[in-house]
Each structure stands twice: as C-alpha cells, then as structure tokens.
Amino acid sequence: MRAAKRVPQTMIRIGAVASRVLRQIWHDKRVVLFMFAVPTLAMILFGYSFSGNIQGVRLAVIDDDQTDLTASIIDNLQADDTFHVTTLSQDTKSPEDLLLHNGYQAVVRFPDKFTSLYYAHFAMGVATSAQGVIDLALDESDPQIAAAVQMGLANAVMDLGEGGPIKIETCELYGVSIRFIDSFAPAIMGLVVAFLCTVLTLLSVVKEKVDGTFARIWVSPVRRGEFILGYIAAFGLVALAQSVLVLVIGKVVFDVVINGSLFWAFASVILFAIGNVGLGTLLSSLAQTESQAILFFPLVLLPSVLLSGMMWPLQAIPWLLRPLSYIVPLTYSNRLLRAVMVKGLAPWQEPVGFAGVLVFVLLTIVTASLILRQSARE
Amino acid sequence: MASAVIETHGIAKQFGIRQAVDRVDLQVSQGEIYGLVGPSGAGKTTLIRMLCGLTRPTAGTASVFGSAIPKKKRAVEARVGYMPQEHAVYRDLTVAENLRFFGRIYGVLPGTISGRIDELLPMMRMSELRRQRADQLSGGEKQRLSLACALLHDPELLLLDEPTIGLDPALRIQFWDHFHALNRRGRTILLTTHYLEEAERCDRVGMMKLGRMIAEGTPAELKARVPRDGGEPSMEQVFIYVTGSDAPAADTEGAK
C-alpha cells in the first residue's frame, strides 16, 4: 500500500503539502482575489500617486521688468506642466496677500532692473556683487510642492540656453533617465510579496493549529522541514505570479525601466518570499486564534512601508528610527531588487542587499523550524 | 496472550503545578478495543497525545509496537492512525481532497488512494459528499470525515480521541459498528470516551480520574467489583463505585 521507491517519499510529502496549500487558496475565491487584487491595486495606486510629477501648481507671475529675458523665463514656466501660470499686472496685491487670500501656491516677481543686473553680472565678471534677483514667495505648508516650485523655477532659468548663467549636463548612468516609479516598482514587488506571503502563511498555520490538523500532521510521517518546504513551494509560486503581475502592470501602464535580468529579479523575489514564509510561521507561534493573527498585519505592513526606504530614502528617516530600518527585511529586498532591476546587476553585486535577504531567510527558516518543533510538542 | 501493541510504565505528565497524567501503567494487546473513560480533566487526551508523540512525558516510558515513544516514533508512525478530538480536517478542501492529502502524506500510492476513498466513503455513508467542501458538512459528517482520514492508510493501530463526542445516538452506534468491523480485521483500537455506556462495547476499559488509572479490566470484571443488590450494575454505577464520584457522562461536552 505504500508508494514505490522511485520518487523519494520526502518529495511526495513536500508535494502533498504544497498542493494542499495551493488547493486551499484556490478554493477560497476571496483569498485568490485578495492575492491578485493587492499587487494590482498597490502597483496602480502607488504608481499613479508617485509616478508623480507634480502638476498644475497655481503660480502667479508679476513682471515689473517687462523685458525679453523675463518674457523668456515666463514662457519656460508656462511650458512646464508643473505650473498653471497666471500673469498679473504690476499694481497687484502683495505676494503674501496672493498666497493667503487668492489661492496661489507660489508667486514669482521679477523686480524692475532684474534684467540689467543680470547682464551686469556677465559684463563685470565675478568681481561684482550685482546679480539679477527673482523674488519667490512660497506656500511651504507642503514641502513637496515647495520643492517642485523651486526646481521648476531653477529649470526655467537654466533653460535660457547658452546665454544662461549655469549649464548642467546630466549623465544617464543606466542609459535612460530613471524616474521615481522605476525604482518604486521593485519596492512594490518586495512589499506585496512580504505582506502576502507572511500574512497568508501566518493565517494558514494558525488555522492548522485551531482546526487540529497541525496535530495530525505531526503524528504523520511529515517532517518539519518537509512541512516548511511545502509551504515555501506553494508561496514561492504565488510570489512568482504576483511579481509577474506587478511587472506587467509596471511595464504596460507605467512603462517602468527594467534594465536587469528578469531571471535574477524573479529569483530574488522568490528568495525573499522564502524568508517571509519563515516569518509567517514564526509569528504563528505567537497567535492562538485567527483573530489574534490579524493583529500582526500592521506589524508586518507599517515598518515595511515607512522604514524600508521604499517611499523615501533611509537618509530621510530620523536618526532615532533609522536603526529600525536596518532590521526591516524589505530594506534589504529593496536594495537587492533595485540593483537587479534598475542597475542591471547580478544579486551578489549588491552584497548588502543580497546578504541581508540571505540572513533574513536563514534566520527565519531555522527559527521557524525550531518553533514548529516546539509547537508540535505543546 | 496476544503481544502488546501499546505499553506504558509509570507514564506521567505535569503542566505547571497540575499533574495531568499520574504514573499510569497501560497495556493494550494486539486486536483489542481498549476504552479510556473518565470525566474531563481525567488525563485521557494527554495520555493519548503522549502515545502519539505529540506530548513529551515528564516521567515514565511508553512504547508502541515495541518502539519507544517519542524517541522512535518514526519507526511506527505509518502504522498508526490518529483522530484528534477536534474535527481536524481542512475546512477549505473537499471531502475527497482531504482524504487524498492524508493518503499522500502517509505514502499511499495514488491508485490505491482512489480505491480506499471509494471504499471508505460508502462505509462512512458519505458517497454523495465526495465533492463537498468540509466547511459545508454537518458536525457529524465532519466527524466521519475525520475518522476516514485516520483510516485511509489502513493503520494497524487506531488512537481515537473522543471519536463519538457530540454525535447523535444513531451515529454513535454506526461509529461503533465501524470500530468492531475494523477490530474483526485485526486492528487494535485505543479510544477515549466519556460516554460510559460505550465502555460496555470495549474489550477492556481503563477508568481514569485526575490523571490516575483508578480501575482497569473487562466490562464484566469491572461490574463484578460492585456489590450487587438486584440486577447487573451499569457502567455508570461501576464508575461511581470505583471512583467515589459522579459519573462523567454528567459533564457532557466538557471534555475538551
């Protein structure tokens, strides 16, 4: 009655656990929907929110100088999607009034003699302090808008061409100019895999404990390693499907840049998914019921979103919180996936990210295995 | 006498300050139906879990088919079928998928699994429920599925923890018919119950209270201990006599 020796029993048992987990997922259509809706929504919502050149900032321009130079700068501002430019007459209210009472977000004023001072600077060289000055009044209640206005104005002045005071040439290290969304897609892949693999493993294992199937498994010939490998095989496939979905949406909808090898990208995602299966198994030892398990969801999601460098660079995270960033696994997955997908490197060429993910995988899988041994004997 | 399938010597388990099982000696022979009876908290479930290798004893020894448990559990696990007190089936799998999964993890060949499913489902009167998801089954149907899962790999020894709890009387009779049918095929069964009338149907009975084995013997031997004043005593009367307490059936569903 026992199976023949051709296929090792251990492979049969791993396969049995993996196919059982996949069948359970397949039977619960809400989980299937959740699994594919989350990456789709995350990619589309985050993508649209952050692909995000800021557009339509209400900008008032007061030109007291009325020269060709100021007209060129205003033309440049109008050509920039960042701004919705309104040119106001000289005898208008003060810039502060315009900001506070007229709904403008920034006011640019070219004082009279701006042009003559600007050219005087060139004529007299560096020895002079004469300089054309543009007055900028800014609503700084939103720092991102304020930064976009300052950058847009600087571009408008630079775009004057060869006669301009500064010439900046951008060297495109990766062959194309990288937008925020391009470095965001790898982070979304990591986040989706981290969240769903951890949460689904956690719920699945807790359900086994609650239903008593856990006890049945430990009485059977299934080993702890086979149990974990079965889960890894199932969720590795799920992670792969989710990553493909994120990349397809990223490419089709946002035209994200993928410089690197897709093979290494998917291999890195699956490696990270393994660690998250381990993490979900670990957390399952702290929850006795499914409702207790749900309480862990924010614990997984919030540090990943806020501290991993996904939304803003680690350097922008306050020093007090930054050590926490280095224990958030997504921090390393972001480094690894960005290196592989954006920079086109092999995983080992980003040693910090690669080592971080490997350590995460080893730690969680080994600890989860020990915890399962404990749970089995409770 | 038939060889001992299960043997324990002074086996004990302590949870904190509570002595769940207190130095129990047990011997179950090949082809025997042995019933552990007692109220909730008597230590029946802990004893059965120790025999499965799920709970490590704090003292004493246990062996199944001559292999020390839990140390040599691997040597015997394919010969043992375990049915826990909970329904212990995968709620989101169908009846057939549950059975197939348990068949696969016990190394039963795919072709044989299908044959066993075809054999077990009519026996459990579940043929029409083959494609039904377990979470859509009634309590009794889940219980039958749980028993079928324990039987799929055709084990020589069945460890059944409260297999009839919560079943209506007709279904309980049906379950006992299954147990006797299995027994006729040489299977050894150790089960726990707190329905004392079920003890009558066992070959031998162990009565437990507060972790200790208070009395043990065939139903006839146990009844013979009770002074007679008229007819034959019931198992409730035997239990009350040997333990000096209320019969466990009074605390119905509390066994968990």
Question: Within an 8 Å CB–CB cutoff, is residue A215 touching chain B?
Answer: yes
Q: Which of A3-7, A97-101, A181-185, A232-236 has the lowest mean pLDDT?
A: A3-7
- Enumerate the H helices of A51-179 as residue ranges: 68-79, 95-101, 114-124, 143-158
Residues of B within 8 A of A222 (CB-CB) are 105
Q: With a cut of 0.90, is the ipTM above it?
A: no
Residues of B within 8 A of A221 (CB-CB) are 74, 77-78, 105-107
* Chain A to chain B Cβ contacts (< 8 Å): 92
Residues of A within 8 A of B89 (CB-CB) are 211, 213
Question: Within an 8 Å CB–CB cutoff, is residue A220 touching chain B?
Answer: yes
Condensed to tens digits (0 to 9), the pLDDT of residues B107-130 reads 999 889 999 999 899 988 889 999
Average pLDDT across chain B, whole number: 88
Residues of B within 8 A of A207 (CB-CB) are 91
**What distance in Å separates the CA atoms of residue A60 and residue A293, rounded to the nearest whole number?**
53
Nearest by CB to A221, from B78, B85, B91: name it.
B78
**What distance in Å separates the CA atoms of residue B241 and residue B247, rounded to the nearest whole number?**
9
Residue with tokens 């968990």: B256
**What distance in Å separates the CA atoms of residue B83 and residue B57, rounded to the nearest whole number?**
20
Nearest by CB to B90, from A15, A24, A218: name it.
A24
**What distance in Å separates the CA atoms of residue A344 and residue A332, rounded to the nearest whole number?**
17
Condensed to tens digits (0 to 9), the pLDDT of residues B132-178 reads 999 999 988 999 999 999 999 999 999 999 998 878 888 888 889 98
Closest chain A residue by Cα to residue B159: A219
**What distance in Å separates the CA atoms of residue A278 and residue B232, rounded to the nearest whole number?**
60
Closest chain A residue by Cα to residue B54: A377
3-state SS, residue A370: helix
CA A323 to chain centre: 19
Condensed to tens digits (0 to 9), the pLDDT of residues B29-46 reads 999 999 999 888 889 999
Return the pLDDT at A173.
Answer: 57
Given a contact cutoff of 8 angstroms between Cβ atoms, the answer to whether A353 and A326 are in contact is no
Residues of A within 8 A of B104 (CB-CB) are 12-13, 15-16
Q: Which of A24-28, A65-69, A98-102, B3-7 has the lowest mean pLDDT?
A: A98-102
**What distance in Å separates the CA atoms of residue A22 and residue A201, rounded to the nearest whole number?**
12
Nearest by CB to A27, from B109, B133, B154: name it.
B133
Question: Where does the pLDDT of residue A178 fall: very low under 50, low under 70, confident under 90, or very high at 90 and above?
Answer: low
For A70, the token pair is: 């100021």
Given a contact cutoff of 8 angstroms between Cβ atoms, the answer to whether A19 and A27 are in contact is no
Question: Where does the pLDDT of residue B253 fall: very low under 50, low under 70, confident under 90, or very high at 90 and above?
Answer: very low
Nearest by CB to A219, from B52, B86, B108: name it.
B52
What percentage of chain A reaches a pLDDT higher than 70? 86
**What distance in Å separates the CA atoms of residue A371 and residue A158, rounded to the nearest whole number?**
61
